[in-house]
């Protein structure tokens, strides 16, 4: 039997999921929880094969619960339950150790199939959310590539100044950090704005961020 925990702060949602899963002869709902802390505690104290976690819960949300379960009960496969449009939270949950995610409007047969897949250690991915995550990743990569092209012609010294500008330092602070005069830094920044097509320091700071210049700070 596949032992399942359902965690959702809405009792009606838990009842609905339980009724669906109880139609499967190989699935048994052995625990329910109304918040993330209860869910993590149940997985720690019981043998849970699959934990279905709502993303939005009181006390501890689904992401926090996924982190705790992955650490305290690594044998439990965590699947997030989400409404469409929560791709950022889903990405956080996957990084936290969740093995997949389902939309709350998933059909009964699909839900049962997903639980069976999760119990085997296979990923469970809702197609609509997957497209959203991929689209955002592609847009992010395209923005980063465009930013890197805009800084290609900068000298090493100008790159150093742009990176420091991106961290929010003033001209004086940049000058002190690089042991340059304030006038030299101001001249460099003027050339940086011209070469990159930035209208002001704020746009230059965003450019530095998009180009990944702050990633190694």
Tens of pLDDT along 77-89? 999 988 765 667 7
The mean per-residue pLDDT over the stretch 142-170 comes to 92
The mean per-residue pLDDT over the stretch 43-59 comes to 94
pLDDT band at 134 (very low <50, low <70, confident <90, very high): low
SS3 state at 164: helix
Counting every residue, how long is the chain?
217
SS3 state at 32: strand
Tens of pLDDT along 177-206? 999 999 999 999 999 999 999 988 878 988
SS3 state at 23: coil
Domain boundaries, the chain: 2-132, 151-210
Token pair belonging to 46:
């019981």
Judged against a pLDDT cut of 70, whether residue 145 lies above it is answered with yes
Q: How far is the C-alpha of 33 from the C-alpha of 10, rounded, in Å?
A: 10
pTM: 0.65
The mean per-residue pLDDT over the stretch 154-179 comes to 92
The mean per-residue pLDDT over the stretch 60-83 comes to 91
- As beta bridge partners, residue 33 has 7
The mean per-residue pLDDT over the stretch 56-68 comes to 92
Q: How far is the C-alpha of 45 from the C-alpha of 146, rounded, in Å?
A: 50
Domain 151-210 grouped into CATH 3.90.1150.110: no
Q: How far is the C-alpha of 96 from the C-alpha of 56, rounded, in Å?
A: 15
Say what the pLDDT of residue 188 is: 96
Domain 2-132 grouped into CATH 3.40.50.2300: yes
- The per-residue b/e assignment along 155-191, b for 16 or more CB within 10 angstroms, e otherwise, is eeebebbbbbbbeebebeebbeebebeeeebeebbee
Tens of pLDDT along 5-42? 999 999 999 999 999 999 999 999 999 999 999 999 99
| Angle ∠(40,41,45) on CA atoms, nearest 5 | 120
- Residue 98 makes CB contacts below 8 A (sequence gap 6+) with 53, 66, 70, 78, 79, 80
Say what the pLDDT of residue 86 is: 66
pLDDT band at 214 (very low <50, low <70, confident <90, very high): confident
Say what the pLDDT of residue 174 is: 94
Alpha carbon 158 to chain centroid distance?
A: 33
Q: Return the higher-pLDDT residue of 213 and 2.
A: 2
């Amino acid at each position: 039997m596949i032992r399942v925990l359902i965690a959702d702060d809405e009792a009606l949602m838990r009842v609905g999921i339980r009724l669906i899963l109880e139609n499967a002869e190989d699935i048994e709902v052995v625990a329910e929880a109304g918040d993330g802390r209860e869910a993590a505690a149940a997985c720690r104290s019981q043998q849970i094969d699959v934990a279905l976690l709502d993303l939005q819960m009181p006390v501890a949300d689904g992401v926090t619960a996924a982190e705790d379960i992955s650490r305290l009960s690594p044998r439990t496969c965590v699947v997030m339950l989400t409404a469409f449009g929560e791709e950022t939270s889903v990405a956080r949950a996957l990084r936290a150790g969740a093995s997949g995610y389902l939309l709350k409007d998933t059909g009964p047969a699909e839900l049962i199939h997903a639980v069976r897949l999760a119990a085997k250690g296979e990923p469970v991915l809702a197609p609509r959310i997957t497209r959203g995550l991929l689209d955002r990743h592609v847009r992010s990569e395209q923005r980063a590539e465009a930013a890197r092209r805009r800084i290609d012609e900068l000298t090493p010294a100008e790159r150093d100044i742009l990176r420091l500008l991106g961290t929010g330092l003033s001209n004086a602070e940049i000058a002190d950090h690089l042991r340059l005069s304030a006038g030299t830094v101001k001249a460099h920044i003027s050339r940086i704005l011209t070469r990159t097509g930035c209208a002001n320091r704020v746009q230059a700071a965003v450019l530095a961020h998009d180009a990944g210049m702050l990633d190694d700070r």
